Amino acid sequence: MVDGVPTLKCFEVVFSNILTMASGLIVIVLFIMLVVGAFNYLTSLGNPEKLKKAQGTLRYAVIGLIIYLASFVILKVIDVLFLGGAGTLFQFQIGE
């Protein structure tokens, strides 16, 4: 803030906070999906329809987890290969 007026520098902080909160929300949703899928699997009592639905929930939760982890790994690889591994990929900076 400059003299109480928000500037573009404030956008860096807001974007960083949104990215952090979204990442946390993704992990929470994936955990809930895994728990719900496992609960439905255990309580299906051999009913093929319920069993198939529970397996689908578990499958999509695992696929989501793999995509989330793969995106993080890809960004880290980009950081190492193209930015020299400085760790600045996740630090947002608007020109000074």
Q: What is the pLDDT of residues 54-86, one digit of tens each?
A: 999 999 999 999 999 999 889 888 888 887 777
91: three-class secondary structure by DSSP: coil
Sequence-ordered list of residues with C-beta below 8 angstroms from that of 36, at least 6 positions apart, any chain:
57
Cα gap 41→45, rounded to integer Å: 8
Is residue 13 predicted with pLDDT exceeding 60? yes
Cα gap 96→2, rounded to integer Å: 14
pLDDT given for residue 89 in this prediction: 66
Is residue 8 predicted with pLDDT exceeding 80? no
pLDDT given for residue 16 in this prediction: 76
The predicted model gives 13-33 an average pLDDT of 88
